[in-house]
Amino acid sequence: MQSNKLRMAIRATAALAAVGIAGQAHAFSFSAGDIDAELYGYARLNMSYDINEDLGGQDGNGSQSANPNNISGGDVDGHFGASATQSRIGLRATNADGITINIEGDFGGGDNGGNLRLRHAYGEYNGFLAGQTWSNYNSFVGVTPTLDFNGIVGTPGYQARAAQLRYTTGPMSFSIEDPKGGSVLKDDSLTDEAREAGQKDSTPALTARLEDSTGGLSYSASALIKQNSYDDGTNDDDTVGFGVFGAASFALTNMISIQGAINYTDGASDYLYLSGGKDAYLEGNSLDSISGIGGTLGTSVNLGGGRSMNVAYGITKLDDSDINSSDTEQNQNAFVNYMWTPVQNTMMGVEYAYLENEKESGTSNDAHRVMFAAQYNF
């Protein structure tokens, strides 16, 4: 029981820090019959200025997604974007039998955002979880907070939600998940439709994770395995894809912490965050896995009075032996931000970001961005 509470505390602290609210949000609680429930969420404004690129965003407005894969080298100077579509709302309920249900969404759906998008939808009882939530091949341990919606290249694991069945006991958790990726790279001369034809998911992704803490050290390690398959009626082959990562955060003093992670994948590039890679390369009848490695390193300084400063760097690199000259080989980015809480449940911050994308051919492009965010939590 104590280990479970400790593990949940690690997750909660890291998740809250990742959105800059530092545990100060208070949900609206209410009861109905034998159900205790709480409504939670936040309203958020993001404003960004792309100095030498039009990076765009997940909602098409340049305000949320500083993704190195978007860098074109076109040097479109001075692009401004603003959006509130990151705002989210969630409902968490627990009945007398101890069954917990969580449903959460944000407004990032649709071509330009504004439509409700499902983030979490799951039930949990006695260590068993069924539904959609963060992948078990994921951790917030080792993550340095950023204002940017996508965050740091190389952040450990799959940084989105996956439909899954999971069992947790103490610091260990195991899951059967909807596999991500499975995409196959073929010759440059083929269309995207021809590249994608025949790729399929034939097995789930299986994961295991250890996450715990001792003293000032929090740590996490996870492994994943899945199968990549291709069958277009002529070519038919499959390979095993896998990934492993380790992440840690250490409090040097009451004010300063350092955190980081390292992640290696082979045939599982979607689990190498923001790598921009495919899982495998099809050459004739042979399907060969594409491997890659990534990592992050950062530091956070608590300045007191609800103020903090964060510096972070991340990088991913794919093995160039099985990718085309026009495909991404390396991505990296760096962030410096200042966040403050002027009143309870309110966070504001400013951030500078540097992003770089390098193709297998050696062509390299970079971008610079400044950003402001205001977030009101409940």
Q: What pLDDT score was predicted for residue 25?
A: 52
What's the predicted TM-score (pTM) here?
0.88
State how far the Cα of 224 lies from the Cα of 305, in Å rounded to an integer.
41
Residue 302 has pLDDT above 60, yes or no: yes
| DSSP states along 270-317 | GGSTT----SEEEETTEEEEPEEEEEEEEEEEEEETTEEEEEEEEEEE
State how far the Cα of 117 lies from the Cα of 134, in Å rounded to an integer.
15
| DSSP states along 147-183 | SSSS--TT-SB--SEEEEEEEEETTEEEEEE------
Per-residue pLDDT tens digits for 49-94: 989 887 766 555 555 667 788 787 776 688 888 889 999 999 999 9
Helix then strand count (H, E) for the chain reads: 2, 22
User: Of 157-166, 186-195, 238-247, which range is least confident?
Assistant: 186-195
Q: What pLDDT score was predicted for residue 374?
A: 96
> Tokens 């944000």 — which residue?
106
CB 78, CB 104: distance < 8 Å: no
Per-residue pLDDT tens digits for 312-370: 999 999 998 878 888 899 999 999 999 999 999 999 999 999 999 999 989 999 999 99
Instruction: Tell me which of 311 and 71 has the higher pLDDT.
Output: 311
At 290, the pLDDT band (50, 70, 90 cuts) reads very high
State how far the Cα of 370 lies from the Cα of 72, in Å rounded to an integer.
18
Residue 297 has pLDDT above 90, yes or no: yes
Instruction: Tell me which of 77 and 195 has the higher pLDDT.
Output: 77
DSSP β-ladder status, 35-50 and 88-94:
antiparallel
Q: What pLDDT score was predicted for residue 6?
A: 41
Q: Please report which helix (H) or strand (E) contains residue 198, including its range.
A: none
Percentage of residues in the chain with pLDDT exceeding 90? 64
**CATH for the stretch 2-377:** 2.40.160.10
Percentage of residues in the chain with pLDDT exceeding 70? 86
Buried b (16+ CB within 10 A) or exposed e, 321-358: ebbbeebbbbbbbbbebbbbbeeeebbbbebebbbbbb
Domain boundaries, the chain: 2-377
For the chain, what is the mean pLDDT? Answer: 87
At 5, the pLDDT band (50, 70, 90 cuts) reads very low
Q: What pLDDT score was predicted for residue 121?
A: 98
State how far the Cα of 238 lies from the Cα of 372, in Å rounded to an integer.
46
Phi, psi of 10 (to 5 degrees): -60, -50
As a whole number, mean pLDDT of residues 150-164 equals: 94
Q: What pLDDT score was predicted for residue 11?
A: 41
DSSP β-ladder status, 205-214 and 217-231:
antiparallel
For 27, the 3-state DSSP assignment is: coil
The burial of 169, by beta-carbon neighbours within 10 Å (0-12 exposed, 13-18 middle, 19 or more buried), is given as exposed
Instruction: List helix spans (H) across 74-172.
Output: none
Name which of 258, 347, 371 is nearest 310 in CA terms.
258
Q: What pLDDT score was predicted for residue 190?
A: 53
